[in-house]
Amino acid sequence: MSDKIRWGILATGNIAAQFATDLKQSHSGVLAAAASRNLSKAEAFCAEHGGEALSDYDALLARDDIDAVYIATPHDSHVAWTHKGLAADKPILCEKPLGLNQGEVLNLYGEAARRNVLLVEALMYLMHPRMHLAKQLVDDGTIGQVTGFSSGFGFAFPFTPEHRLYNIDRAGGGILDIGIYPLTAARYLIGEPNALSGEARLAPSGADAEAKATLSYDGFEAHLHCAIDTELEWHISVEGDKGRLKISQPWHPGPENNQIVVTDENGAETIHAIDDARPLYAIEADHMGVLLKRDALTSDLVTPDFSINTAYWLDRWRAAGCVKYAADKLGATGFHGAALKHGAHGSVPTVALNGLNKPVSKIVLGTDNQIDAPTMAAMGDAFFEGGGNCFDTAFIYSDGRSEALLGEWMAARGVRDELVVLSKGAHPPECSPEAVTRQLDQSLERLQTDHLDIYCLHRDDPAVPISEWVDALNREVDKGRITLFGGSNWTAQRVDEANEYAAANGLQGFSLLSNNFSLARMEDPVWPGCLASSTDEFRDWHTAQNFPLLPWSAQARGFFLNWEDSGLAATRHGADPTDDEMKRVWGSDANLERRRRAFELGDKLGVSAIQIALAYVVNQPYPCCALVGPRNPMQLQDSLDAAQISLTQEQVNWLDLRD
């Protein structure tokens, strides 16, 4: 790499020109090439800004004299060009919004992490020191306790159906184009909200011309407003119990627009100003320069988590305003634009289950926390191409949404036959043999399949004679609607009874259990009626019979994370563990010692404690496939990597305090 970062710009429109203009004043970057779909446009662009004119975006990505690529195309092509750029090993600064929905953004960050390439969403104003100073002033209590927030961005651009701003096929509308600024300003300055409500006034094209959102925080609200057909005041105002902080014209800071006004309780104003002579996009380019110098793979100013959450809230805002894009519906190809290929990016060790004609990956992807089709697809694609093939769901998860989303993804991607689908039914209050058939009708319909590879009774009702359970399950086997069956949260004793009855009557018996099992033993049930296979006795039972276990919460729901330092996230998702659960369920002295040992062994092997905890599960002396619930493709990859860790029997015993 030369001393200066040699930039290549994809596209020669409005923002590309602003970036190229400012780049001349950056400390670290220089324009090496710009590509347009039209050579004469590229030539005119480079005549003004320098660099080599190219008539082909792909040709720019193929050049090895380009150190970083700025993607300045319209929203709807960000995912495709970012994929191509990452595949060409180019660090990418991509215009906002990075993706059209959270699924696209999850997918892109997963892809960047997998390829070890830097990817940053170009939210330029968050890279400017004025916003950092504003945050510091808020954090330092300059205006006291925050009591309110408002922000707006709006301009009057006449309705032009074919323009990217209004064209719904180009993902037009104000929310994604400029609503993203007030939304990110609120979250950057005062943190993630608890919920969003909103509304939109749609243009005839279906794109939102004007939209409002209210973010709920503990004790106050933040009000966001954007419009593309109406002038609005451009501002950020943070109200506190001791004053107010205001930034006028917050979105394009620069040497001439560098102030923050703080007004105290008595009305006295203090002006804070930033002294940086560089224009905005030079600062953005220099931020990339710093990251590249550090060999960083992510930005610390616009982190992957921040971008992923931005997409999450934009999705909620769009949903509230009834703004829908084609990208929200799944197609036959992955986000990379090609058909999915199982194991394209890796492999996962498997186990064979008697009676099933497919191996089962030792990591099983849980789908109870998926919120919509694109996020399900981001996780499903990554898992499938990473070598996994087994998915876990249940009749009751998210009121049926989990099964429906998994079904939608399998059908769209055309991968059902390559998968092992595990679903569960007959959860209380409908824990009866009669419910098995009725719920299975619905499960199969939601999953868009005619059979489950594995069916588990979600709970046992010991009052139900074992013969009734086994008979009901065998009726479904005979109809071809389930291949193998087992119990989730069942005791070994009841499984023994079931299998004795089945053997005596020439019927199929239980093939597996799906109880809880992890390096941390469940001291108190996470939920009423749930059961673990963790005691020495239960482990010995599995070992003696070589009886398969597909355990849930195989990572003890976050217990092996470094939560002392970061705290358990104030989460949006009900499936995430709380501090209370960490103590009540997992926090015994013995578990804390197991956890300490997981950290110690992790340090020794150069992996994380949570990976060691997962390796412990898949290194049992009987077939054991761990159910995991990662929230993003990076966490998923960690789990897939953990399945490759071989532990010796001594290490397994030592981790479990059996040394």
Ligand X SMILES: NC(=O)c1ccc[n+]([C@@H]2O[C@H](COP(=O)([O-])OP(=O)(O)OC[C@H]3O[C@@H](n4cnc5c(N)ncnc54)[C@H](OP(=O)(O)O)[C@@H]3O)[C@@H](O)[C@H]2O)c1
Cross-strand bridge partners of residue 391: 365, 421
Other C-beta atoms lying within 10 Å of the C-beta of residue 404: 22
Of the candidate residues 22, 104, 177, 368, the single one contacting ligand X (CB under 6 A): 177
Residue 96 annotated in active site: yes
Of the candidate residues 96, 458, 597, 631, the single one contacting ligand X (CB under 6 A): 96
How near is the Cβ of 229 to ligand X at its closest, in Å? Answer: 16
Decide if 354 contacts 511 (C-beta within 8 A): yes
Q: Counting contacts by CB under 6 A, is residue 302 touching ligand X?
A: no
Tell me the torsion sign for CA atoms 473, 478, 482, 485: positive
How near is the Cβ of 46 to ligand X at its closest, in Å? Answer: 11
Q: Which of 84, 96, 212, 246 is catalytic?
A: 96
Q: Counting contacts by CB under 6 A, is residue 13 touching ligand X?
A: yes
Give the total of residues touching ligand X (CB under 6 A). Answer: 21
Region near ligand X per CB under 6 A, out of 72-80, 153-161, 232-240, 423-431 = 72-80
Of 78 and 244, nearer to ligand X (C-beta) is 78
How near is the Cβ of 236 to ligand X at its closest, in Å? Answer: 16
Return the structure tokens found at 528: 């009423």
Of the candidate residues 100, 120, 122, 215, the single one contacting ligand X (CB under 6 A): 122
Q: Can you say whether residue 546 is alpha, beta or left, with left for phi > 0 and alpha for psi between -120 and 50 degrees?
A: left
Please, which residues have CB within 8 angstroms of residue 638's CB and are 6 or more apart in sequence? 608, 610, 611, 630
Q: Counting contacts by CB under 6 A, is residue 583 touching ligand X?
A: no
Cross-strand bridge partners of residue 552: 516
Q: Counting contacts by CB under 6 A, is residue 74 touching ligand X?
A: yes
Of 10 and 274, nearer to ligand X (C-beta) is 10
Of the candidate residues 31, 33, 54, 72, the single one contacting ligand X (CB under 6 A): 72
Of 179 and 630, nearer to ligand X (C-beta) is 179
Nearest to 585 by CA among 518, 514, 659, 491: 518
Distance between CA 4 and CA 331 in Å, rounded? 41
Of 46 and 222, nearer to ligand X (C-beta) is 46
How near is the Cβ of 169 to ligand X at its closest, in Å? Answer: 9
Region near ligand X per CB under 6 A, out of 36-44, 391-399, 445-453, 490-498 = 36-44
Give me the phi and psi of 97, to 5 degrees please: -75, 140
Of 124 and 348, nearer to ligand X (C-beta) is 124
Region near ligand X per CB under 6 A, out of 66-74, 234-242, 324-332, 651-659 = 66-74
Return the structure tokens found at 519: 């390096």
Q: Counting contacts by CB under 6 A, is residue 164 touching ligand X?
A: yes
Region near ligand X per CB under 6 A, out of 69-77, 434-442, 509-517, 577-585 = 69-77
Distance between CA 433 and CA 466 in Å, rounded? 10
Of 26 and 439, nearer to ligand X (C-beta) is 26
User: How do 259-264 and 220-227 pair as beta strands?
Assistant: unpaired
Q: Counting contacts by CB under 6 A, is residue 80 touching ligand X?
A: no
Q: Can you say whether residue 45 is alpha, beta or left, with left for phi > 0 and alpha for psi between -120 and 50 degrees?
A: alpha
Q: Counting contacts by CB under 6 A, is residue 208 touching ligand X?
A: no
What string marks each residue from 134 to 153 as x (binds ligand X by CB under 6 A) or -?
A: --------------------
Of 14 and 357, nearer to ligand X (C-beta) is 14
Of the candidate residues 14, 566, 646, 648, the single one contacting ligand X (CB under 6 A): 14
User: For residue 153, how far is the Cα from the chain centroid?
Assistant: 28
The residue count of the chain comes to 659
Return the structure tokens found at 54: 């190219």
Of the candidate residues 6, 75, 235, 424, the single one contacting ligand X (CB under 6 A): 75
Longest dimension (CA), the chain: 88
Other C-beta atoms lying within 10 Å of the C-beta of residue 178: 23
Q: Counting contacts by CB under 6 A, is residue 41 touching ligand X?
A: yes
Decide if 70 contacts 98 (C-beta within 8 A): no
Q: Counting contacts by CB under 6 A, is residue 287 touching ligand X?
A: no
State how far the alpha carbon of 12 is from the alpha carbons of 48, 49, 349, in Å.
Answer: 11, 11, 47
Amino acid at 501: Y
Q: Counting contacts by CB under 6 A, is residue 38 touching ligand X?
A: yes
Distance between CA 404 and CA 569 in Å, rounded? 28
Of 81 and 510, nearer to ligand X (C-beta) is 81
Q: Counting contacts by CB under 6 A, is residue 73 touching ligand X?
A: yes
Amino acid at 258: N
Of the candidate residues 21, 25, 55, 77, the single one contacting ligand X (CB under 6 A): 77
Region near ligand X per CB under 6 A, out of 13-21, 146-154, 296-304, 624-632 = 13-21
Decide if 245 contacts 260 (C-beta within 8 A): yes
User: For residue 436, how far is the Cα from the chain centroid?
Assistant: 33
Task: Return the H-helix or E-strand segment holding 424.
Answer: strand 420-425
**Catalytic residue numbers, as ranges:** 96
Residues that bind ligand X (CB under 6 A): 11-16, 36-38, 41, 72-75, 77, 95-96, 122, 124, 164, 177
